[in-house]
Amino acid sequence: MYIKKSWITLFAMIAIVPLLAFTKLRYDNATKKAEVKQHILKSYIHGAFNELNPEAMAKGFHPEFAIFSQGSKDKLRRYPIGKWVAGVKKRKAKPDFDPEKNKWAHKFPMVDVTGNTASAKVELYKKGKLVYTDYLSLYKYDDGWRIVAKVYHKHKK
């Protein structure tokens, strides 16, 4: 009887340990996804759109970040972060800039994290209409996540 209980206990422990490990991995990944979403919200959604905050962009984007877009005849266009930040500063400095008219809603249909890499699909809405679907790539460095690249689709009006 004692041996039978010992075997049952052993088998139960063998079954539970992988389950606990799997639960921890899922929790860790959910935590990383939440970190990535928060980073994108602060640096990208508010930095580049809602608040036009170039300081948040500088902290959240890698210095070699670029927006890649499709050019004509199989060309690839590259828009570096320096030009984008300068454009954000210029728009915010205009006398007719109205922060209330510059509000963008967003959704995160997908965020995926593997180790120190992440990708996110972000939908941006203006006045309830889907305007952009963006795909962001991120790396996690010693000081945190950084957005390293963006490709996007602009939806027709």
Choosing among 3.10.450.50, 3.40.50.300, 3.40.640.10, 3.90.380.10, the CATH entry for 2-154 is: 3.10.450.50
Residue of 107, 87, 90 lying closest to 45 (CA atoms): 107
- Enumerate the domain spans of the chain: 2-154
Contact assessment for residue 137 and residue 149, using Cβ atoms and an 8 Å cutoff: yes
The pLDDT, as a whole number, for residue 27 is 53
Place of tokens 């639960």: 23
Least confident of 7-21, 63-77, 95-109: 7-21
- Summarize pLDDT for 91-128 with one digit per residue, the tens: 999 999 888 888 999 999 999 999 999 999 999 999 99
Q: What is the pLDDT of residue 99?
A: 82
Predicted local distance difference test score (pLDDT) of residue 1: 61
Q: With cut-offs at 50, 70 and 90, classify the pLDDT of residue 146.
A: very high
Structure tokens at 152: 């996007």
Provide the whole-model pTM.
0.81
β-partners of residue 130 are 125
pLDDT for the residue 109 = 98
